[in-house]
Amino acid sequence: MRSLSLICLFFGLVWAQTTPSGEEDSTASDIAFSPFIVTDGKYALGTFAKVNWYQAQATCASYGYTLVSITTESDQRAVRNFLYTRGNAQLPLLDAPLWTSGTDLANENTWIWFSNGRSFTYRNFQNGLSYYPSSNKNCIAVYAITGAWVNEDCSEQRYFVCEKRCLFED
Instruction: Decide if 161 contacts 99 (C-beta within 8 A).
Output: yes
* Domain map (residue ranges) of the chain: 33-164
Q: What is the mean pLDDT of residues 98-114?
A: 95
Q: Are strands 98-103 and 65-67 parallel, antiparallel or unpaired?
A: unpaired
Q: What is the mean pLDDT of residues 113-131?
A: 87
Q: What is the pLDDT of residues 29-87, one digit of tens each?
A: 334 456 666 666 789 888 888 999 999 999 999 999 999 999 999 999 999 989 888 77
* pLDDT surpasses 90 at 10: no
Cα–Cα distance, 110 to 130 (Å, whole number): 10
CATH fold of the domain at 33-164 = Mannose-Binding Protein A; Chain A (3.10.100)
